[in-house]
Structure 1
Amino acid sequence: MALDTDELEPRKPKPALKDLSTLSVGELKDYIAGLEAEIARARTFIDAKEAHKNAAEAFFKKG
């Protein structure tokens, strides 16, 4: 069974939800844009980590 290093990291508490009721439509759109940018950034890191993991697995399978 392979060890996933993510399981070794302590779990972080989920951040509190933002009160959206006080935001205007424009502010909500800006908030969504910021969240989408953060999602894209997270996906980039996921892709990089998966590529690194796949490269390491390929290297050790050949040897």
Structure 2
Amino acid sequence: MDADENLPRRKDDLAEQLGKQDLDPLSVDELNERIRLLEAEIARARAKIQYAVNHRASADALFKR
């Protein structure tokens, strides 16, 4: 568990703002583009997680934790 997990989310958290956005005015094409962009962001976040896990495992192995 990271120390940051105990901190409250920032008031300008973009993920929270995205979840509150009204989707009604968007066309099907706009919604599909939004999904494409969100899927790309999910892939980027997953890659960052994998990098962090691998980095941590390498550090643990180096220092024999």
TM-score range, shorter chain: 0.7 to 0.9
Give the TM-score normalised by structure 2. 0.75
Q: Which residue is equivalent to 1:48?
A: 51
Which protein shows a greater Rg? 1
Cα separation, 2, equivalents of 1:18 and 1:39: 18
Which of residues 2, 7, 13 in structure 1 aligns to 2:3?
A: 7
Identity %: 43
Is the partner of 1:19 in helix, strand or coil?
A: coil
Cα separation, 2, equivalents of 1:31 and 1:12: 23
Alpha-carbon RMSD = 2.0
Q: Which runs of 5+ in 2 are unaligned?
A: none
After superposing on structure 2, the runs of 4+ consecutive aligned residues of structure 1 that deviate more than 6 Å are none
The amino acid across from 1:24 in the alignment is S
Is the partner of 2:24 in helix, strand or coil?
A: helix
Give the TM-score normalised by structure 1. 0.77
Cα separation, 2, equivalents of 1:11 and 1:56: 28
